[in-house]
Amino acid sequence: MTYCVAIKVAQGLVFASDSRTNAGVDYISTYSKMYSFDLPDDRAMVLLSSGNLATTQAVINCIKRDIENDTAVNLKNVHYLYDAADYIGKLVKQYQKEHGDTLGKSGISAEASFILGGQIRGHEQEIYLIYPQGNYISASEDTPYLQIGETKYGKPILDRIIRTDTTLGDAARCALVSLDSTIRSNISVGPPIELAICDANDFQISRYLSLDTGTQFFTSLQKSWNDGLRRAFNRLPRFEWELPELVKDSKTSSGN
Amino acid sequence: MTYCVAIKVAQGLVFASDSRTNAGVDYISTYSKMYSFDLPDDRAMVLLSSGNLATTQAVINCIKRDIENDTAVNLKNVHYLYDAADYIGKLVKQYQKEHGDTLGKSGISAEASFILGGQIRGHEQEIYLIYPQGNYISASEDTPYLQIGETKYGKPILDRIIRTDTTLGDAARCALVSLDSTIRSNISVGPPIELAICDANDFQISRYLSLDTGTQFFTSLQKSWNDGLRRAFNRLPRFEWELPELVKDSKTSSGN
């Protein structure tokens, strides 16, 4: 399994991904699921991947080869980010078709999903979710984030915090909390967590972090969040049937 | 969809369930998914249901009929709670088999899952998850809760809070927060929320609440949790790249 999330706020884009890959529970390894490419100064793109590792590797290799060979359509020369999403969607379908039948006979899915985010000069920043079927959707003002992989455990905090006017720092922290909740609940999602931020109109990855289990910043973020949640929980209103005891207690202590 | 959770702590059992039922997105209605039965004084049982509404209703009707007719095996006369789980598992399989083929042709699943919890005098309180296949598992000290339906959104808070020594009040609050997170993220899970508590060795439902959107206690719990989460989020550590601005700001203000 995998969990990747991309967030689009007014100040820029945030990308976060875990690094655990597994073929069954007895073959677990670590692979980056975040890719960037050698592109001209007028553009930046980040790709997050989920699904069959052979399919995602084949797609990434083909994207890089097409850039090197400067083919008719590649990430260097597309005019719009949705052209890039369309191009990647076609590659996904192509590689899934190539190996899908034989994989299907072994009960394995060849499917892969991607999130593509970035900016081409003259246009706004955008993020796209590219489905295994090759079609794609973009984020919107009302839904300013996209997820792939094990999406449910980490969704509630995104729904509560992320708005278009959220700062890049808060959006990045929210992505880390979302990853942390997922890692705690699904053993097939694991560190290191990669975090990339693209400031609007910067046309490059402005900041990048790789956070492993022992990384001090990540440990203190996890602790702070856990403590904060417990504090929030302990402040929740009491049920009516709990109150008499409190009253009794306070009477007893005032009588002392 | 549905979300139900049962929690077993040393002080007793907590059951919580939503009430939304849907056949497609254009036919949404409200049905209770929490059932109790007219049983002798030596026992109490609560059943939570998820899945095909016709299957769950057929199972519940059969359980009630068997109690009335005092059949060879029914909830009044079983000696152990796992006998009750086994009996319900057999009913589930029977009704799924009866309508499964015709439903399957319409692309609809006949499957249903249940959580059974309670106590029979002479034994500890227990909770069981009964699968559509008729088999069942109980909760343990390490995993003191069981869920059915849309389980993922509400799982992280259970993992953080629930231990065997958690108080009944905290366990009940945690169940409500878990339901609240699920309702926010999945439109097919909805209020009213039913909450039932069985104190250990009380052999009845000790406390029961039905909480709808406008119920004051539930509204204030939702607000308190949302405010607490935001406070916890705002206290998270800042990234290194955010700190220089803070230093600069404090220098500016100290210079004024």
- The amino acid occupying position A108 is I
By Cβ distance, the residue of A170, A185, A209 closest to B156 is: A185
| Residue B246 confidence (pLDDT) | 55
Q: Quick one: CA dihedral A124, A48, B159, B183, positive or negative?
A: positive
Query: Taking CA atoms, what residue in B is nearest to A150?
Result: B152
Q: What domains, with CATH codes, occur in chain B?
A: 3-213 (3.60.20.10), 217-256 (no CATH)
B60 touches B114 (CB < 8 A): no
Q: Quick one: CA dihedral A98, A101, A103, A108, positive or negative?
A: positive
Write the Ramachandran bin of A245: left for phi over 0, alpha for psi from -120 to 50, otherwise beta: alpha
Q: What is the 8-class DSSP label of residue B222? A: H
| Residue A245 confidence (pLDDT) | 58
By Cβ distance, the residue of B169, B185, B233 closest to A155 is: B185
Reported as a single tens digit per residue, the pLDDT across A162-208 is 999 999 999 999 999 999 999 988 888 889 999 999 999 999 999 99
Angstrom distance (rounded) from CA A36 to CA A203: 12
| Residue A168 confidence (pLDDT) | 97
Mean pLDDT of A88-109: 92
| Residue A99 confidence (pLDDT) | 87
Query: Does B229 touch chain A if contact means CB atoms closer than 8 Å?
Result: yes
SS (H, E, C) chain A: CCEEEEEEECCEEEEEECCEEECCCCCEEECCCEEECCCCCCEEEEEEEEECHHHHHHHHHHHHHHHHCCCCCCCCCCCCHHHHHHHHHHHHHHHHHHHHHHHHHCCCCCCEEEEEEEEECCCCCEEEEECCCCCEEECCCCCCEEEEECCCCCHHHHHHHCCCCCCHHHHHHHHHHHHHHHHHHCCCCCCCEEEEEEECCCCCCCEEEEECCCCHHHHHHHHHHHHHHHHHHHCCCCCHHHHHHHHHHHHHHHHC
| Residue B230 confidence (pLDDT) | 96
Contacts of A85 (CB under 8 A, 6+ apart): A116, A128, A130, A136, A138
Q: Decide if pLDDT at A254 tops 50.
A: no
Q: Encoding tokens for residue B74?
A: 């029914």
| Residue A252 confidence (pLDDT) | 46
Q: Tell me if B236 and A230 make a contact (CB, 8 A cut-off).
A: no
What is the ipTM for the molecules in this complex?
Answer: 0.89
B11 touches B125 (CB < 8 A): no
Reported as a single tens digit per residue, the pLDDT across A16-27 is 999 988 877 778
In this prediction, residue A253 has a pLDDT band, given cuts at 50, 70 and 90, of: very low
3-state secondary structure of B202: coil
**Nearest of A129, A128, A124 to residue A112 by alpha carbon:** A129
Chain A residues in contact with B159 by the CB 8 A cut-off are 184-185
Chain B residues in contact with A155 by the CB 8 A cut-off are 153, 185
Q: What is the 8-class DSSP label of residue B73? A: S
Peptide bond into A192 cis (omega under 30): yes
| pLDDT under 70: residue ranges of chain B | 244-256
Angstrom distance (rounded) from CA B201 to CA B194: 22
- The amino acid occupying position A24 is G
Query: Taking CA atoms, what residue in A is nearest to B207?
Result: A241
In this prediction, residue A128 has a pLDDT band, given cuts at 50, 70 and 90, of: very high
The CA-atom distances, in angstroms, between A165 and each of A9, A10, A130, B164, B167 are 6, 6, 25, 42, 40
Instruction: Give the pTM.
Output: 0.90
State phi, psi for B20 to the nearest 5 degrees. Answer: -95, 135
Any idea which residue has 């719990």 for tokens? B221
Chain A residues in contact with B163 by the CB 8 A cut-off are none
Chain A from 2 to 61: CB within 8 A of any B CB: none
Write the Ramachandran bin of B21: left for phi over 0, alpha for psi from -120 to 50, otherwise beta: beta
> Of all helices (H) and strands (E), which one includes residue B14?
strand B12-17
Reported as a single tens digit per residue, the pLDDT across A100-123 is 888 888 888 999 999 999 999 999
By Cβ distance, the residue of B155, B221, B242 closest to A185 is: B155
